[in-house]
Structure formats: structure tokens, C-alpha cells
Amino acid sequence: MATVDNVLETGELEVLGRLVDASNASLLCQLPNGSQVIYKPIAGERPLWDFPDGNLASREVAAFYVSEIGDFKVVPPTVMREGPFGLGAVQEWVTTAADLDVIEIAQSPNEQIRNLALFDIIINNADRKFGHILVTPDNAIFGCDHGVSFHHENKLRTVIWQFADLKLTSEEIEKIELLLSKLDTAHLGKYLSELEVSALFDRANLLLETKKFAVPNPNWPAVPWPPY
């Protein structure tokens, strides 16, 4: 697992502003070394009827853990820590390329997008919007906003469906097998419920059984709204 910079875990957070489009409190902050982060205090979360257990910040941290352990490398470094408004998730800010068409990239056969799509199936991401796909100036692709993930029921909602029902490659199968061998249930239990942890293993094992990308759930909206 990637080593998280100590300043991300302990550096004083200077609030620079708030992301006004976010449905929950998302604060742009600066660390003493000049780097910027997004701080999402648990106290600023709105209750969700379909995610009654735990909190969004914990799922953000769990998503980073799964991304690193599974070698997906799609979630910016994210930690749970204290901040000006209490305990919350703190994630490295990712600078994106302003001149790229995220929608076109997100709906392309791009290998990094495929990697993100597989990751979303495993964490059961219920909110993969175009705006949650970050493309850097050097064309690296990351995902953000994973607070509504890991539900024990199939709630996958995403704008990335071009890989649905496609066969997994041998490399993808090996990645899932490695993930299952390395996942620490005790560590995950700090952030997810026992039922959510069990469902995570079930989803990964189902992928190994079918050897295919998931298809939309007919009983659940396939695309988040609004999609951006």
C-alpha cells in the first residue's frame, strides 16, 4: 500500500473555501507544505436513507485502501483525521486538465477508464458521475467522491457502461485474486460494517466466477442523476 505523506495525516488544515456544488460539506484546504486537499468533515454530512450505516468519510478512506491494495491506483491518497470541524476524510487535491473532454474519455475504451470501471464494480459505487472522473494534464485518470459505495445490495450506478458483459482479461482476474488475498477484514472493519465487508468479498468472488464485467441492475437506476 502506498505510503501516505505524514503532512496529509497531521499537518494543520487552513480552510481556503468550500466546493459549493457538493451536496455535503467539502472544504478546500491548504497544508503547511503548500499542497492542497479536500476535507470532508463527518459533521457536514447529510443523512442518506439508503446508506443508514456508518458515514461517507469512512467509505472514502475504505475506497483508497481497496484501490491501493488491489493495485488499481485510482483514488488519491485519503486519510481519516481531525480537522477544523472535527473528524473527517482528507484527500489530496488533483489538478485536472481543463482542455480535455471528460465525457468523451469516460465513454471511450481507454484502459485507465476500464480499470476504474472494474474498481467501481468491486466497491459497488452508486455515484460514478462524469464530474467524479479526474484527468490530469499528463493523462492520468483518478476517481473521487466514493462516499456512497460499499453498500451490501447491488447499487452500482455509473456513466461507464461500455465494458458491461465483456470478458475479464487474465491480468484483471489476477488483480482480483491478489486483492482478495491481501484484503484485511479487521482494517476494513474500521470503516465499513460487517455486512459491507462481506459483500465486498462476494462481489470480487462473483467477478472471478463470471469472469465478466457487471451488467446494469434491472431493479436499480443504471446511471446517476444528474450524470455530471
Residue 109, C-beta contacts closer than 8 angstroms, at least 6 positions apart:
162
Give a yes or no: residue 228 inside a domain. Answer: no
Give a yes or no: residue 195 inside a domain. Answer: yes
Q: Which domain holds residue 10?
A: 6-210
Local confidence band at 120 (pLDDT 50, 70, 90 cut-offs): very high
Chain segment 4-21, per-residue pLDDT in tens: 779 999 999 999 999 877
Mean pLDDT of 41-45: 95
Mean pLDDT of 178-198: 97
Q: Please determine, for residue 70, whether its predicted confidence score (pLDDT) is greater than 90.
A: yes
Residues paired with residue 27 on neighbouring β-strands, in sequence order: 18, 39
Local confidence band at 3 (pLDDT 50, 70, 90 cut-offs): low
Mean pLDDT of 169-179: 98
Give a yes or no: residue 224 inside a domain. Answer: no
Q: Which SS3 state, helix, strand or coil, does residue 222 take? A: coil
CATH number of residue 24's parent domain: 1.10.510
Give a yes or no: residue 216 inside a domain. Answer: no
Q: Please determine, for residue 1, whether its predicted confidence score (pLDDT) is greater than 70.
A: no
Distance CA 223, CA 184 (A): 31
Mean pLDDT of 101-122: 98
Give a yes or no: residue 102 inside a domain. Answer: yes
Q: What is the number of structural domains in the chain? A: 1
Cα distances (Å, whole numbers) of residue 21 to 24, 27, 38, 71, 75: 9, 11, 14, 31, 20
Give a yes or no: residue 157 inside a domain. Answer: yes
Local confidence band at 22 (pLDDT 50, 70, 90 cut-offs): confident
Give a yes or no: residue 189 inside a domain. Answer: yes
For 7-21, 55-69, 106-120, which range has the lowest pLDDT when averaged over its residues? 7-21
Give a yes or no: residue 226 inside a domain. Answer: no
- Mean of per-residue pLDDT scores for the chain: 95
Contact between 113 and 132 under an 8 Å Cβ cutoff? The reply is no
Query: What confidence score (pLDDT) does residue 74 get?
Result: 98
